[in-house]
Amino acid sequence: MSFTLAIVGRPNVGKSTLFNRLVGKRLALVDDQPGVTRDLREGAARLGDLRFTVIDTAGLENETDDSLPARMRRLTERAVDMADVCLFIVDARTGLLPDDRVFAEILRKRAGRVILAANKAEGNAADAGVFEAYELGLGEPVRLSAEHGEGMNELYSMLLPIS
Ligand code: GDP
Ligand code: MG
């Protein structure tokens, strides 16, 4: 059986980088400037022998106030409703920001299965951020580096029971 995975999280945590790695084509824009990718993108993902649909979420990411823009929240909710499982990504380098806790609440209320991932976790500069992710109360974070392809085996083993 195939399944749909939604990649969610605040801007700039590396959602599109992971999406591109899973889909293998540059379907989603990746940019250093938050605010470039928009809306929802769907792709056919491969991870080892797993085949599934992956959704990348984006939204109005360049608002000046630091609270989660309503559009981003609505898009995330749409993606969550389409998905069998959500991959919630936080940035292990910046550590948790208030918006991460907002997303955690949305997922707690709305999503069934949630896999937590701490991205940008290459090297030990990210250790503190990985441990901090436990505070979200969503279980043990998968330690990922979307950019360097690290942690993909662990992600595979989390997705295997869902497939
Ligand atoms: P999104 O807004 O969540 O889709 O984030 P992007 O995928 O656009 O990535 C935002 C920035 O983080 C880009 O500059 C990426 O190159 C960078 N990035 C993504 N994954 C990693 C990672 O594993 N390690 C590091 N150091 N940077 C990353
Ligand atoms: Mg993006």
CA dihedral 59→61→67→68, nearest 10 degrees, is: 20
Report residues near ion ligand 2: CB below 5 Å: 15-16, 37, 58
Instruction: Tell me: pLDDT of 143 over 90.
Output: yes
Comparison of pLDDT for 31 and 126, the residue scoring more: 126
35 CA to middle of ligand 2, Å? 8
Name which residue sits closest to atom 18 of ligand 1, judged by CA: 14
What pLDDT sits at residue 13? 95
Comparison of pLDDT for 93 and 33, the residue scoring more: 93
pLDDT tens figures, 48-83: 999 999 999 886 555 555 667 787 888 899 899 999
Annotated binding residues for GTP = 9-16, 56-60, 119-122
Name residues contacting ligand 1 (CB within 6 A). Answer: 11-17, 30-32, 34, 37, 119-120, 122, 145-148
Ligand nearest to the CA of 21: 1
Name which residue sits closest to atom 19 of ligand 1, judged by CA: 14
Share of the chain above pLDDT 90, in %: 71
Comparison of pLDDT for 63 and 6, the residue scoring more: 6
List own/partner pairs for 67-73 with CB under 8 A and 24 or more apart: 67/98, 67/99, 67/102, 68/10, 68/99, 68/102, 68/103, 72/10, 72/11, 73/102, 73/106
Residue pointed to by tokens 């380098």: 93
Instruction: Tell me: pLDDT of 141 over 60.
Output: yes
- The three state secondary structure string of the chain is CCCEEEEECCCCCCHHHHHHHHHCCCCCCCCCCCCCCCCEEEEEEEECCEEEEEEEECCCCCCCCCCCCHHHHHHHHHHHHHCCEEEEEEECCCCCCHHHHHHHHHHHHHCCEEEEEEECCCCHHHHHHHHHHHHHCCCCCEECECCCCECHHHHHHHHCCCC
Name which residue sits closest to atom 17 of ligand 1, judged by CA: 14
Residue pointed to by tokens 């069998």: 84
pLDDT tens figures, 111-132: 899 999 999 999 999 999 999 9
pTM metric for this prediction:
0.91
What pLDDT sits at residue 27? 57
The mean pLDDT of 137-160, rounded to a whole number, is: 97
φ/ψ (deg, to 5) at 41: -125, 140
Share of the chain above pLDDT 70, in %: 85
Tokens coding 29: 């824009």
Ligand 1: atom nearest CA of 93 is 26
